[in-house]
């Protein structure tokens, strides 16, 4: 384990190689299940790119110069963060950051966390600055499908979920993931 990067055993990070591969679906299922047992914090982290609000929903009027941390309060909205809140998360945050300020953003986010909570997060970039208790990588692969590069995440993933034209089984993913003794665990390396 890299000692220069903080380790958060209560953090489950979900990354994927494209949009619409099932990251939010898995995050919502995990939040719904574990919020009955623990205080769950939902988190979505996104790098700041031009015109990215179309994919993440509009959270504020202007993009931050370096980063911002937005707390979601709308349970009825269509944004992923609203869905996390509706699924049972105690609190939900959306962090937008330049890659160069992600570590600073996460230091401020961690200070907001209540004690003894677990965090379910969607992010491809966060693994650069935090080591989660579990990193789940969802990989959609089939002929003709163009994906984002995830090569740096593949060796770091604790669980890889493969899907082709069909969606993967949420039940199989949920059965492979558990939270025990203060950390996330998986009994499989791939599904």
pLDDT tens digits along 69-98 = 999 999 999 999 999 999 999 999 999 999
Domains of the chain, CATH where assigned: 7-186 (3.40.50)
pLDDT tens-digit series, residues 131-157: 999 999 999 876 665 567 788 999 999
Q: What is the predicted pLDDT for the residue at 58?
A: 52
Sign of CA dihedral 81, 82, 86, 87: negative
CA pair distance 57, 184, nearest whole angstrom: 29
Max Cα separation, the chain? 46
What tokens appear for 95 in the block? 């962090």
CA pair distance 181, 191, nearest whole angstrom: 24
Give which of 187, 116, 164 is closest to 17, Cα–Cα.
164
Is the predicted pLDDT of residue 164 greater than 80, yes or no? Answer: no
Q: Please give the average per-residue pLDDT across 111-123, as a whole number.
A: 94
CA pair distance 161, 126, nearest whole angstrom: 19
Is the predicted pLDDT of residue 59 greater than 50, yes or no? Answer: no
- Cα 9–Cα 138–Cα 171 angle in degrees, nearest 5: 80
Q: What is the predicted pLDDT for the residue at 73?
A: 97
pTM of the model: 0.88
């Amino acid at each position: 384990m890299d000692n220069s990067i903080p380790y958060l055993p209560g953090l489950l990070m979900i990354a994927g190689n494209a949009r619409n591969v099932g990251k939010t679906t898995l995050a919502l299922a995990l939040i719904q299940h574990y919020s009955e047992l623990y205080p769950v914090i939902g988190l979505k982290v996104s790098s700041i790119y031009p015109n990215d609000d179309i994919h993440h929903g509009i959270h504020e009027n202007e993009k931050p110069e370096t980063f911002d941390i937005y707390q979601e309060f709308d349970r009825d909205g269509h944004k992923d963060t609203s869905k996390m809140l509706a699924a049972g998360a105690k609190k939900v945050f959306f962090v937008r950051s330049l890659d160069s300020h992600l570590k600073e953003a996460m230091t401020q986010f961690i200070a907001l966390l209540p004690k003894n909570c677990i965090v379910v997060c969607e992010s491809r970039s966060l693994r650069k600055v935090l080591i989660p208790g579990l990193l789940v990588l969802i990989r959609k692969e089939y002929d003709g499908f163009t994906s984002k590069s995830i090569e740096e995440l593949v060796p770091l993933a604790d669980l890889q979920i493969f899907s082709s034209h069909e969606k993967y089984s949420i039940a199989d993913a949920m059965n492979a993931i558990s939270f025990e003794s203060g950390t996330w665990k998986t009994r499989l390396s791939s599904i």
